Chains A and B, each alone.
Chain A
Amino acid sequence: MSADHIHIPPFQTEVMDNGLTVVMMPIDKMPLVSVKCLIKSGTSADKKGKTGSASLTLELLKKGSGDYNAAKFSEAIDFLGGTVNTGSAPDYSIISADFLQKDLATALQFMGGMVMKPHFLDHEFDSAQQRISAAIKGIMDNPSSLNSYFFQKLFFGESHPYASPTNGILPEINALQSQDIREFFNEHFIANNAVLVLTGKFQIPEVFANIQKIFSSWGTGQLRKTSRILIPVQQKNKFFVMDRPDSVQTYIQMGVPGIYQNHPDSIPLNVINSLFGGGFTSRLNQEIRVKRGLTYSISSGFTRMFHQGSFAIGTFTKTESTGEVVQVIFDELHKLHDEKPRDDEIRDTIRHLCGTYPLSLETAEQLSEKLTRMALYELPSTWISDYLSILQALSMSDILKIVDDYFPVSGYTCVLSGNGREIESQIQGFGEITVMPNEDIHL
């Protein structure tokens, strides 16, 4: 697979007078359109002590805006057979609308109402706050989500903007007032902090004229500058065991500081990570699942966000295999350094990454996601089309030199959820252990 084989539909970017960036990519394929409105502020913009503000704001955008109350809004969308979803992540908030081509004008009107004229009614605020609060409690019933919740908190540390879960910390979300939501909205939902991305079957002149009509009255505001935060490296492994005495399995997540979005080593790291823990034939999967039958799934990966993220490994296994799985993971990390990846292993991995790349470019929705990421992190306009040629131009030395910098054999923050007593005895000697008793686990 070479870059010449892939045709990325051309796209056009316009910046309106109020600073709203509009990215449009017509795709002449299925009769579908995808519209996303990206707000370049997410959960990390929640004020101290007010986590959950971003996610509650996004939830409330569906509960009445413009000419629609909550019930009319959802009925109108469902009647068209479309979907409108809202959500927030650490670096951004997003409203996504997927509709049939014929309903694009209506989708844009909904979008305009949501980002410019939400109602924020008190009874809708109360209802959404209570529903989110109850849903957060449900994390306790899902071992995978529970483990991720505490990994995020313990890996980043309490004061880091990425430490809080997306929906917020339970006591803080319970204490939010509707005024907090209005403040979050007023500060961040401004045209010059937003990007509108459209992909699918449409003509640019007609659609852009409509966008100008709907969004030109969107106000502007002052943008906040943020400095990149790096995570301090720890020398030794630290194990945190969440005691869930009735669990028959242990969920394991372990991480060290990784990279941030736009990092120059990003693409070579895709290669090493893929062969180490990225795919079915990766070393971790072969050793732990295929050879030993110790898990159904194991993977590793780098998060790529504005601040430095993690290189993390995640898996699960039956309680009695916990120590063995942890041991094999560390053995494989050692092996990555002791027996560097072979040339043929690297070549195969690059071919795998090149071959599977077009799968992320199939639908209007997928292309819209790429364009949104490009706009959020100010990536070059050739980001989508150049990926393959950059990947194929990498030399063996480019790739091998990064192994020592990013895949350490110690210094991991490890969070394990399962039967505490059984786990503790199996992980002695791997690092410092802290057991959190079941009754002390609170969200």
Chain B
Amino acid sequence: MSNGMLVLIIEDHSLPIVCYNTTFKVGSRNEYQKTAQSHGITGMSHLFEHMMFNGSKKYGEGVFDQLLEANGGNSNAWTSKDMTSYYEVFPTDCLDLVIDMESDRMANLSLTKKMFNSERDVVKEERRMSIENSIPGTMWETLNKNAFTKHPYHWPVVGWMEDLNEITLSDCKSFYRKYYSPSNAILIIAGDVVYPNVIDKLESAYGSMPVAKLTDSQSITEPNNDGERMVEIHRPAELERWLMGYLGCAGNHRDTATLDIIQQIMGDGDSSRLVKKLVHDSQIAIDVSGTFHWGIDPDLFLFDFRVRPGISGDRVLGQFDKQIDRLSETLVSPRELQKAKNQLASQLIFEMSTLLGKSTEISNYYMIFNDYQMVFNMIDRYMNVTRQDVLTAAQTYLRRDNRTIVRVIPEKNGGTE
């Protein structure tokens, strides 16, 4: 559109429903921590996501969800390190209402003290549930905190509790002005819609919104690790767990396709190397998985496992490292490589089988690559990865001096880091 918002329309008339997906290029990487001069605003992107449901100029407090649900729709939203995404799925005849509500909250959100305080409490409860009262959540927070020393991926998306307590309504207003403009968003409308009819309506709803001059303010590069980092957490638990992160490449780097291939070869599916060796053959782990996180900036290649009771965690780590070493020293077999490619191609097709899946995938690709067409090229990228690419990427990224490890050691009473 003339104000810089990218709009994609995907027509699919198989059901009388529409998915309306708006994604803003703002996440926890655009926040900052407390300094000697000011309080921090970590968690702001996510807290703000909650605030978007609490009223705008034309639609008062609580009206957004009430109207949408009463018209047969559903809505939700999520925030990551890099982006914040809002979606509604609703019957076709509610399209005009949704365009009006979404454009109104993008331009004229009401930010009141009362709703701000209430949502802050909800978010603090979410933080307790997902991090403080959760072993995997505590490990995830600890890993990022230690793996990233300079880059904003250091703090959790939900934010530090101390910052959540100190963020003000005024911070929210500044944040909204800075990041919630059409030129910082992609809108995808998928489903039972007709392109020419929709585009006129969008022009009239969004067209007059001003073009914001926003440049990506985040330019910090995470320095290379100066060696392996290890954090042990002692807390009441039944099972010993390990989580490790190797610093990878940015999502738009050509190595991303290769790291996805490695994820499949190592830790996705019963026939992957780690699952086969650690879980089934030597039976020393209960489970194991590997995931490469795509980020706008270089993010982590994660592995995690739970140790079988009675087995030493160090022994599992030893076996794990053997498999990583093997990947870095020997070419994978042609069939193993083809298997990984088939899995990734198939996963992408499955993910695109719903309107929400399609719109979410395309938004992600747009945010990471700055080019939504990449979603259609990714399978080709996977198919072009060679055995040598896998070997080189393993040698480049899966080095011990490039990893951070978090280990939970079960204790029956009390706990310390």
Contacts and interface: CB of A to CB of B under 8 A. Distances in A.
A76 B129 CA distance: 39
A70 B276 CA distance: 10
B72 A351 contact: yes
A32 B350 CA distance: 8
A249 B124 CA distance: 11
A137 B239 contact: yes
A280 B350 CA distance: 28
A232 B392 CA distance: 66
B74 A134 contact: no
Contact of B118 (A5, A247, A293, A359): A293
A100 interface: yes
Interface stretch (A77-85, A326-334, A429-437): A77-85
A98 B276 CA distance: 22
Given A5-B16, A74-B271, A81 B133 contact: no
B346 interface: yes
A81 B343 contact: yes
B263 interface: no
B128 A249 contact: yes
B342 A79 contact: yes
Contact of B125 (A7, A247, A318): A318
B197 interface: no
B138 to A, nearest CB: 11
A358 B119 CA distance: 31
A48 interface: no
B283 A317 contact: no
A355 interface: yes
Interface in B86-136: 89-91, 94, 117-126, 128-129, 132-135
A199 B261 CA distance: 30
A29 B14 contact: yes
Contacts of A290: 62, 118
A290 B17 CA distance: 28
Contact of B71 (A74, A143, A351): A351
A281 B308 contact: no
A279 B69 CA distance: 8
Contacts of A31: 349
Interface in A307-323: 316-318
Contact of A281 (B65, B117, B353): B65
B72 A1 contact: yes
A291 to B, nearest CB: 7
Contacts of A188: none
Contact of B73 (A80, A131, A355, A363): A355
Interface string B319-359: 00000000000000001001100111111011011110000
B129 A78 contact: no
Contacts of B342: 79-81
Interface string A27-70: 00111100000000000000000000000000000100000001
A400 interface: no
A29 B120 CA distance: 43
A438 B69 CA distance: 42
Contacts of B352: 30
A340 interface: no
A296 B237 CA distance: 24
B271 A78 contact: yes
Interface string B210-242: 000000000000000000000000011111000
Nearest to A126: B283
A418 B353 CA distance: 40
Interface residues of A, number: 65
Interface in A265-324: 279-281, 286, 289-297, 316-318
Given A131-B279, A134-B308, A248-B128, A62 B270 contact: yes
A246 B122 contact: no
B65 A81 contact: no
B373 to A, nearest CB: 20
A363 B349 contact: no
Contacts of A396: none
B8 interface: no
A141 interface: yes
A142 to B, nearest CB: 8
A143 B72 CA distance: 34
Given A78-B343, A82-B346, A130-B283, A1 B65 contact: no
A361 interface: yes
Interface string A79-119: 11110000000000000001010000000000000000000
Contact of B286 (A131, A248, A356, A363): A131
B51 to A, nearest CB: 12
B309 interface: yes
A79 B335 contact: yes
A362 B355 contact: yes
Contact of A248 (B123, B132, B271, B306): B132
A31 B350 CA distance: 9
Contact of A296 (B65, B126, B276, B339): B126
A249 B133 CA distance: 7
Interface string A328-369: 000000000000000000001001101110110111110000
B69 A352 contact: yes
Given A248-B133, A281-B65, A355-B71, A6 B239 contact: no
